Chains A and B, each alone.
Chain A
């Protein structure tokens, strides 16, 4: 097909431009468990901050920052969460968030079981001290 040096170079350029470079293609999809954990972390951070639990809100922001880093190059848009009515509602939300992360810890196919376990444990501790 490419019998001359020029023909070989042009052919290589055409193949490269067409994406035929021999490298394996990679479909990038966001991990559903990481995405769910990030959305919950952001919502809990907003809720804790609204009720004045600033140190607990900071824990959730730390979780969110780690989850955002692990999800790159995907990104998850910020959403406004409805603030909990009171401390009891926030504790309930922490408990639900802990259960969500614990479920992810047990079912994840990724290497993030310990990360989800840490988030579940941290949220359970928040619920206990808020209640």
Chain B
């Protein structure tokens, strides 16, 4: 798998998670979740265009993803925080790619993921500052 394959898989999983979690949210977190789900769909479409331009088949999404039991807003927020962190971590790893086109795409996606992570944290009242977005602990 390439870094872009892995990143696309992370975007698929994020879209699925937002679809399952957003319904449990209200107010600012709900609005932000809907906006971020739309961003993930846009990023997925950019990636699918990338595969199409290269004449390659994009990996398909899984039929479903394990998001656990979402019983309330707190669980939904926790899930989406984990999802955004995971997406940022995935794209960060792709920045090490030696191919310039792949690195550029991963860098663009990584910056967008870091912005999304910060906006989500702000919406749910968490600290947004992070010197190394997505860096594994």
Within 8 A of A (CB), among B57-108: 88, 92, 95-96, 100, 103-104, 107
B53 partner residues in chain A, CB cutoff 8 A: none
Q: What per-residue 1/0 map shows which CB atoms of A93-131 lie under 8 Å from chain B?
A: 000001000100110000001100110111011101100
Q: Do the beta carbons of A105 and B103 come within 8 Å of each other?
A: yes
B127 partner residues in chain A, CB cutoff 8 A: 55
Q: Is A21 engaged at the interface, CB distance under 8 Å to the other chain? A: no
Q: Is A91 engaged at the interface, CB distance under 8 Å to the other chain? A: no
Q: Do the beta carbons of B107 and A125 come within 8 Å of each other?
A: no
A residues within 8 Å of B by Cβ? 55-56, 58-60, 62-63, 98, 102, 105-106, 113-114, 117-118, 120-122, 124-126, 128-129
B132 partner residues in chain A, CB cutoff 8 A: 62, 118, 122
B interface majority secondary structure: helix
Find the B residue at minimum CB distance from A119.
B131
B residues within 8 Å of A by Cβ? 88, 92, 95-96, 100, 103-104, 107, 110-111, 113-115, 117-119, 122, 127-135
- Chain A CB within 10 Å, residue with most, of B92, B115, B134: B115
A interface majority secondary structure: helix
> Per a CB cutoff under 8 Å, which of B103, B111, B130 touches A98?
B111
* Distance in angstroms between the alpha carbons of A63 and B129 in the assembled complex: 12
A103 to chain B, nearest CB (A): 10
